[in-house]
Structure 1
Amino acid sequence: MDKKQIKIVTIGGGSSYTPELIEGFIKRKDELPIKEIWLVDIEEGKEKLEIVGNLAKRMVKEAGLPWEIHLTLNRREALKDADFVSTQLRVGLLDARVKDERIPLSHGLLGQETNGAGGMFKAFRTIPVILGIVEDMKELCPNAWLINFTNPAGMVTEAVSRYGNYERVVGLCNVPIMHTIKESEMLNKKPEELFFHFAGLNHFHWHRVYDKAGHEVTKDIMNLLFSEDNNVVANIKDIPFIEEQIRELGMLPCAYHKYYYLQDDMLKKELEEFKTNTTRAEVVKKVEEELFELYKNPELKEKPEQLSRRGGAHYSDAACEIISSIYNDKRSVMVVSTKNNGALLDLPHDCIVEVSSYITASGPKPISFGKFNAAARGYIQLMKAMEEVAIEAAVTGDYGTALQAFTTNPLVPGGAIAKKVLNEMLVAHKEYLPLFKEAIDKVERGEL
């Protein structure tokens, strides 16, 4: 018996990533009986939605598919009876990311989109919006799966699960995919010839690798990692890890661990970029402008190669694979943010972790990793606690809780500097922080 045709909604549909998402669905046209795809954005994103939406229509037409592509600013209209909802939104647009990076750097702190002060503020702005989307989903498409790529992906997914009380949610990040591709190449293997066992938190995970015969090849990759130029994630500085530290861990780190293991070196590099107005956010703004100029071309009917420079490569394809694996109960092994359920023994059973999982019709089934050694355990427990406090601050708008999150974060020094950066960022982002209004008014009156 044929399964019913499906409706897919992408919130943040005007994103530059959307052509890759459409390409991923086209590749799976025989697996997914798609009837309609709705691309949703906000008034400020209307022009981009029109540009990228028209490219999506050309791509689908070129593929000879009868799918309906709808463009709308009406989220509720789009969500009605949806089967899958993906979120790839940025509250405050790229200008907010520029502030997230430049304000901490102006005080000599690391400025980064998902880590440190900037990452916490992205959570403060984003989580209330995502929870609003979830409330609409409960009413309009209560059985839909939410596939979240919005950063900070782990915190956003945890907020949906814990505060939105919505269990049909999967968080997704492209970083594990990049590690999988790069490290397979290092061993002259295809990714499917190896088993990658990831465990940790979004942008803070480690992994081990095994071959088809069951032999662990993690150390083989380490040997290559420390003998060659093997930067995995293009938008993270190519500063090598300290070999002795990584070998003692016995696991391969995530590229984002450089912000923690190599904090001083990374800060120096970022401060150089700060002075020349070439922070990652400012570079991305230029790349986005170039991409949308390309997207305007009525002759363009496929994803342009330049999209790979945007960062986040392969994410959209992975989002399509998750949808296909849930819909078809494929049980693909993928690295996702999902409920721990005992897979990582050093973290709470019900918290969200990023872990290799089987993707089934009933959602991700995490693969048990066990316990970490002391160095990894201490760090990840601190990071999870910081996430929990930051999420609470985002949901409540409580100033003291936000300051507690800042103080807990390893990339933010405690005391006067934490308060100063927190206050400046609250005022800079006040348009997108309605829950913090009382605190922001006090900061502006000099009472905090």
Structure 2
Amino acid sequence: MKLTVVGGGSTYTPELVDGFARLRDTLPIEELVLVDPAADRLELVGGLSRRIFARQGHPGRIVTTGDLDRGVEGADAVLLQLRVGGQAARERDETWPLECGCVGQETTGAGGLAKALRTVPVVLDIAERVRRTNPDAWIIDFTNPVGIVTRALLRAGHRAVGLCNVAIGLQRRFAAHLGVAPAEVHLDHVGLNHLTWETGVRLGGPSGEDVLSKLLADHGDTIAADLRLPRPVLDRLGVVPSYYLRYYYAHDEVVRELGAKPSRAAEVAAMERELLEMYADPALDEKPALLARRGGAFYSEAAVDLAASLLGDGGSPYQVVNTLNGGTLPFLPSDAVIEVPAAVGPDGAAPLPVPTVDPLYAGLMANVTAYEDLALDAALRGGRDRVFRALLAHPLIGQYEYAEALTDRLLAHNREHLAWV
């Protein structure tokens, strides 16, 4: 089995490699290819990755290359984890929206649109090159904004599934609260990428006992603190929103907080410099503890699970993924990409039935889906008016003065990445 990681020079790759090494019985990789144009980073990450495999006794071969076509040739699955523009672009995404009184975040709001505009054309080019060399390969997208990017891939006819670590992170936390193994916890997880709610927490599988109310009663204070939301909000909702919902439920509070401290991008950039210094140590043969603060917890385990199921070699029967809606959520278009539990196998991901969704969540999902339609149109066809329309449609913006000012700033900060500007 050959698996290729595009963006393999990321400082987070050793976490992924550690998962591949630990879970080799689930996903028996013979060749792992790390592709990245940043040769210096790739050499450091690749060296540590080989040492991790050696330490854990993994027999697979790790190859590093800056040649995308060579890297994806013959791959059974290609995992995308790229960041167009790097941390410098992320820094801008997180700062210029604040100048207009809007949330500055890399996947949500105006910053998320900027990332989509930079990313979608690049990802589609990569996917076309994968299809030319191996049309049967699966593409696993971990590149944000996952919902929009996955929708672009599926619309273009690629064999693609989107992956996010929010659900597996909550599953692990809930399992710890309940004192059970993570595999025993099934989430009634519904929404769009980075816009999801846990409407049930079941033990044993999709039809198991729902213990969400008990979980909230016994551990609501801890869960609320993790989400940085008041406990009474969780009690009134009766569900657990993802931490991204704080950008909607406490928008103005978040804007004030973000404006009063260094950006997350600046923190990550400093962390990456320290990590790369660690990776250069030839004695290091395991992922450093600092990597846990980098983000993406449990990403490696989710990626192994998904790849194993798609390639027919194992994996959990049900996984939370980003895939086509079809008729799963009847209030959304059939070609929308939703994030829900699905049965995953060699033919792809089939969403499980979802109970009727409360209008409180359905309305916001429909609004953000409409924004994603416009965002994808802007990413594919360009044009200032399309960017403005997408910003105006976003529920975190929604005022024409904000949309105008944000459009100007988005274009000014992204000219080098947008061919049509």
**TM-score range for the pair, normalised by the shorter chain length:** over 0.9
User: Counterpart of 2:41?
Assistant: 48
CA contact (8 A) 1:108 1:271 kept: no
Q: Distance in 1 between matches of 2:321 and 2:45?
A: 27
Q: Secondary structure at the match of 1:37?
A: strand
1:219 aligns with 2:195: no
CA apart distance, 1:331: 4.5
Distance in 2 between residues matched to 1:266 and 1:292, nearest whole Å: 31
Displacement of 1:326: 2.1
Q: Deviations over 1:55-89 (max 9, x none)?
A: 11112222333322111111011111111100000
1:365-404 to structure 2, matched below 5 A, reads 365-404=350-389
Are residue 177 (structure 1) and residue 165 (structure 2) matched?
A: no
Quote the residue 1:132 is aligned against. Answer: 125
1:92 aligns with 2:85: yes
Letter of the structure 2 residue corresponding to residue 176 of structure 1 = A
1:142 aligns with 2:135: yes
Alpha carbons of 1:229 and 1:364: their partners in 2 closer, same or farther (altered >3 Å)? closer
**Conserved? CA contact 1:249–1:373, under 8 Å:** no
Question: Helix, strand or coil for the counterpart of 2:18?
Answer: helix
CA distance in 1, matches of 2:58, 2:173: 33
Answer whether contact 2:26 2:305 (CA < 8 A) is retained: no
Q: Is the 8 A contact 1:20 1:317 kept in 2?
A: no
Partner of 1:105: 98
Please report how far the alpha carbon of residue 179 of structure 1 lies from its aligned counterpart in structure 2 after TM superposition. Answer: 1.1
Cα shift at 1:321: 1.6
Where structure 1 has 5 or more consecutive residues not aligned to the other structure, the ranges are: 1-5, 233-237, 438-448
Determine if contact 1:344/1:370 at 8 Å carries over to the other structure: no
Once the two structures are superposed, the pairs formed by residues 266-277 of structure 1 within 5 Å of their partners are 266-273=254-261
Q: Secondary structure at the match of 1:209?
A: strand
Number of residue pairs aligned between Structure 1 and Structure 2: 417
Return the offset for 1:344.
Answer: 2.1
Change (3 A) 1:320 1:215: closer
Cα offset for 1:413? Answer: 4.0
Q: Secondary structure at the match of 1:334?
A: strand
Letter of the aligned partner of 1:239 in structure 2? R
Aligned to 1:193, which of 171, 184, 187?
184
* TM-score normalised by L of structure 1: 0.89
CA distance in 2, matches of 1:175, 1:33: 25
Deviations 1:233-274 (A, max 9, x none): xxxxx5324625x4454432111100001112211111111x
Shift in CA distance, 10/240, structure 1 to aligned 2, threshold 3 Å: same
* 1:325-404 map, 5 Å: 325-327=309-311, 328-404=313-389
Structure 2 contact 319–344 (Cα < 8 Å) conserved: yes
Is the CA contact 1:16–1:52 (under 8 Å) kept in the aligned structure 2? yes
State how far apart, in whole Å, the 2-side matches of 1:283 and 1:11 are.
24
Partner of residue 203 from structure 1, selected from 194, 201, 210:
194
User: Which letter does structure 2 place at the counterpart of 1:214?
Assistant: G
> For residues 190 and 215 of structure 1, what CA distance do their matches in structure 2 show?
15
Does residue 1:324 correspond to 2:308, yes or no? yes
Q: Which residue of 2 aligns with 1:239?
A: 228
TM-score norm. by structure 2 comes to 0.95
Structure 1 position 75 matched with structure 2 position 74? no
The aligned residue for residue 445 of structure 1 is none
Q: Match for 2:403: what amino acid?
A: A
Instruction: Give the structure 2 partner of residue 21 of structure 1.
Output: 16
Instruction: Report deviation, 1:295.
Output: 0.9
One-letter amino acid of the counterpart of residue 310, structure 1: R
- Mapped to 2, the partners of 1:195 and 1:421 lie a distance apart of 40
User: Which of residues 214, 239, 248 is equivalent to 1:251?
Assistant: 239
Aligned-partner SS, 1:348: coil
Go from structure 1 to structure 2 and tell me whether the alpha carbon gap of 1:412 and 1:188 turns closer, same or farther (over 3 Å shift).
same
What displacement does 1:395 show?
0.6
Matched residues, percent identical? 37
Three-state SS of the structure 1 residue aligned to 2:395 is coil
CA positional deviation for 1:9: 0.7
Is the CA contact 1:270–1:279 (under 8 Å) kept in the aligned structure 2? Answer: yes
The 1-side partners of 2:236 and 2:210 are apart by: 16
Equivalent residue number for residue 144 of structure 2: 151
Aligned pair partner of 2:392 in 388, 393, 407: 407
CA RMSD in angstroms comes to 1.7
8 Å CA contact 1:345, 1:370 repeated in 2: no
The ranges of structure 1 where at least 4 consecutive aligned residues each deviate by more than 4 angstroms after the TM superposition are: none
